[in-house]
Amino acid sequence: MKLTYLGHSGFLLATDRCQVVIDYFCGAEKAIEETLASDKPLYVLVSHSHYDHYNPAVWQWHSRRAETHYIFSAELRSVVHAADVPVCFLQKGETYADDRIRVQAFGSTDIGASFLLSLDRKKIFHAGDLNNWHWRDESTDAEVRAAEVAYWRELHELHRSVDAMDVAMFPVDARMGSDYMRGAIQFVGFFSVALFIPMHFDEAKAEAAAFAAEAARHHTRFILPENIGDTFDI
């Protein structure tokens, strides 16, 4: 299986049987064009409606690829206006499955969902905007505690379904200040993660790269996608 970075929190997964685009934002024209030129079934996953995770341009792909499957978190139901295109909206706890892929929707500490994929005999997690979102340098103690409680609630619910993952794509966002890696550290400490790929870091590549040392402490392989279009064997 190959993974291509599409920028921000967007990724393309390509197997012998299908291709999966998750949270496409913008750009990555070469990778998208090659995907649309393929004859493999295409799955388009969107975790939530924030502009940096959902680009309405994905609806144009259906006209290029007859077998395009749209799998969205239910939060997008109110913003999607494509009546002629079938969409599978997943509430937290719901699952889409066919003979190529299984997608389970889990919770988020923002809006929408996170996704656990079973694909090509691998467990692949995309966090969407699930994270321990707090700005310790600016937040009150009460706000930090509330973020912590909400985050751990979602992790425990996820852990009831899976305790080990082959791949996790997870936010490492330096805008959060001095404690920006906290959620990711907690994640790799709570789950067995074979490969960790940071996302949601934009130009803060050095700060995202700093998580490699934390991943190593948990015997987790780390890959930093530095440029849009970077492709890795996973």
CA atoms within 13 A of residue 17's CA, in its CB half-sphere: 7
Q: Which residues contact 4 (CB under 8 A, 6 or more apart)?
A: 11, 12, 14, 28, 31, 229, 230, 231, 232
Phi-psi region of 169 (alpha: psi -120 to 50; beta: other; left: phi over 0): beta
Give the pLDDT of residue 134: 86
CB-based contacts of 230, cutoff 8 Å, min separation 6:
4, 5
Q: What's the confidence (pLDDT) of residue 83? A: 63
Distance from C-alpha of 33 to C-alpha of 18, rounded to nearest angstrom: 15
Element counts in the chain: helices (H) and strands (E): 6, 14
Give residue 158's identity as a one-letter amino acid code.
L
Domain ranges of the chain: 1-91, 131-225
Q: What pLDDT does 84 receive?
A: 80
Helix axes of 141-159 and 182-190: crossing angle, nearest 10 degrees = 30
pLDDT in tens, the chain (234 residues): 999 999 999 999 999 999 999 999 999 999 999 999 999 999 999 999 999 999 999 999 999 988 999 999 999 998 887 668 899 999 999 999 999 999 999 999 999 999 999 999 999 999 999 999 988 888 899 999 999 999 999 999 999 999 999 999 999 999 999 999 999 999 999 999 999 999 999 999 999 999 999 999 999 999 999 999 999 999
Q: How far is CA 138 from the centre of its chain?
A: 27
pLDDT of residue 160: 98
- Cα atoms in the Cβ-side hemisphere of radius 13 Å centred on 84: 5
Q: Which residue has the tokens 């924030």?
A: 50
